[in-house]
Amino acid sequence: MTYFSTGEVSKKLNLSLRTLRYYDQIGLLEPALKEDNGKRYYTPENMLMLEKVILLKATSMSLEDIKKIISQITIQKTLTVHKAQLELEIKQLQQSLDYTNTLFNILKLEGDIHWDQLLPLLSEENKSLKQQRKKEVMEKLFTKEERAALAEQLPKMDKDIEQIEKWINLIKRIELCLEESKTPDSREGQLIAEDTLILSNETFKGNAEVADKFWEARKSEETSVNMNLYPVNQEVITFLEESILYYERTNVNR
């Protein structure tokens, strides 16, 4: 019979001696042999059981639950549970990566972000609340078909960098007009209006009804926040709306 000392087990499985002693104390895994001098030795079967414990712990299963099922669970079941946990972690990491990319684009747009916008990176509960709030607002404002169209057509802050940059540049042009006290009916304001209509048509694939409903929702700062849209200064939205209204009035007969 082959035996491994606690030191060998600790090294092979990267478990501390304290952890091995604790598993013994709670009856989760007792060593096969205990000598009078206190030395403990484990068999290959003990090692296999410890590997099961390590895998199950990686799934966030409690030691109490592991203790209840460890002797019945098969290798296939262990791998299935571990695979499911890994897939969940990958999904959560991808969501965090997407949100981080979103914050980078907001930072590029606004030049600054608030610390509270970083909280969803640290809290799964905060992310869930934001997603639930967005779902409720979208269901209230748009039909199922319109939500599907928006999901497909709206640029994603975490992925559609080229499309987002076009909107960012438009917003920066409006901010420059505001800084220089240029009005919506100025030449610059009218060029912005024309470019916005072109980009809006491109973004919404010519679906004017969905575009109009979206922009109506966008005028509300609270609704924009609840829809998880990137923040835009209300002065910018007002300037854009007035410039488009003037452009449409002056070009109605063209």
Widest CA span in the chain: 102
Q: Which of 43, 71, 99 is the last residue of a domain?
A: 71
Q: Cα(11)–Cα(124) distance, rounded to whole angstroms?
A: 34
Q: Is residue 148 part of a domain?
A: yes
Mind listing the pLDDT tens digit for each residue in 211-226?
Answer: 777 777 776 666 665 5
Residue 192 confidence (pLDDT): 92
Q: Is residue 35 part of a domain?
A: yes
Mind listing the pLDDT tens digit for each residue in 96-151?
Answer: 777 777 777 766 665 666 555 555 554 554 555 556 666 676 676 667 776 666 66
Q: Indicate the pLDDT class of residue 186, thresholds 50, 70 and 90.
A: very high
- Give the DSSP letter of residue 40: E
Residue 235 has pLDDT above 80, yes or no: yes
Residue 53: give its domain's CATH number.
1.10.1660.10
Q: Could you tell me the residue range of the domain that residue 147 belongs to?
A: 129-250
Contacts of residue 92, Cβ cutoff 8 Å, sequence gap at least 6 = 124
Asked if residue 229 lies in contact with residue 179, where contact means CB atoms within 8 angstroms, the answer is no
Q: How many distinct structural domains can be found in the chain?
A: 2
Asked if residue 5 lies in contact with residue 39, where contact means CB atoms within 8 angstroms, the answer is yes
| 20 and 133 both lie in a single domain | no
Q: Which of 71, 100, 119 is the last residue of a domain?
A: 71
Mind listing the pLDDT tens digit for each residue in 160-176?
Answer: 567 777 888 888 899 99
Residue 182 confidence (pLDDT): 93
Closest to 174 (Cα-Cα) out of 201, 196, 146, 148: 196
Q: Cα(72)–Cα(49) distance, rounded to whole angstroms?
A: 11
- Residue 208, classed as helix, strand or coil, is helix
Residue 57 has pLDDT above 90, yes or no: no
Q: Indicate the pLDDT class of residue 187, thresholds 50, 70 and 90.
A: very high
Global pTM value? 0.43
Mind listing the pLDDT tens digit for each residue in 5-36?
Answer: 989 999 988 888 889 999 998 888 888 998 88
